[in-house]
Structure formats: C-alpha cells, structure tokens
Amino acid sequence: MNEMLRKTREWLNCSSRKSFSAALHEAKITPRQIEICELKFIKGMTNYQIAAELNLSDKTIEKELSRAYKSITNVLKSL
C-alpha cells in the first residue's frame, strides 16, 4: 500500500464520526463501500468478519475497500 493510502487508513481510524461520515459522503462511494468502511473502522471488524457478515468473499471486501480508499484519498487531498 502506498504512503498516501496508508495515511488515509490512519485518518479513517482516528477521525471523529462526523468527519468520517462527511469524508465518505464527499467521496461519493457506493452504499456497499460505505457499509464496509463503517464495519471496518467504526465496529473494528476484520475483512474476514466483514465478508462473513455480508456474505461476500474476502477478495470482494479487499477490492471494495481499495476502491473506497482511493476515492477517500482524493477527498482528503483536497482538504
């Protein structure tokens, strides 16, 4: 993972709920990506746990998170 995506993950982990929600909304990510991000960063679930909860594969969770990180990174760059 490149440096900017790592910083995005750190920001998501440390942000307030209000900032977190605003960034997800601004990034215009899909509802499924929003749900995955909330499970990951608000509930602290692992990719495996998220996959089981949503009846998806681990690979799908990784892909959706990767796409979401990229969109959120672009939002954070503009702040």
Q: Are 76 and 8 in contact (CB under 8 A)?
A: yes
* Cα–Cα distance measured from residue 72 to residue 63, given in angstroms and rounded to the nearest whole number: 14
31-67 confidence digits (pLDDT tens)? 999 999 999 999 999 999 999 999 999 999 999 999 9
- Structure tokens belonging to residue 53: 């909860």
29: domain CATH number is: 1.10.10.10
11-37 confidence digits (pLDDT tens)? 999 999 999 999 999 999 999 999 999
The pTM assigned to this predicted structure is 0.91
Cα-based angle 46, 27, 12 (whole degrees, multiple of 5): 40
Q: Measuring CA to CA, which residue among 60, 14, 36 is closest to residue 6?
A: 14
Domains in the chain, number: 1
The domain in which residue 62 lies consists of 3-77
Q: Are 58 and 45 in contact (CB under 8 A)?
A: no
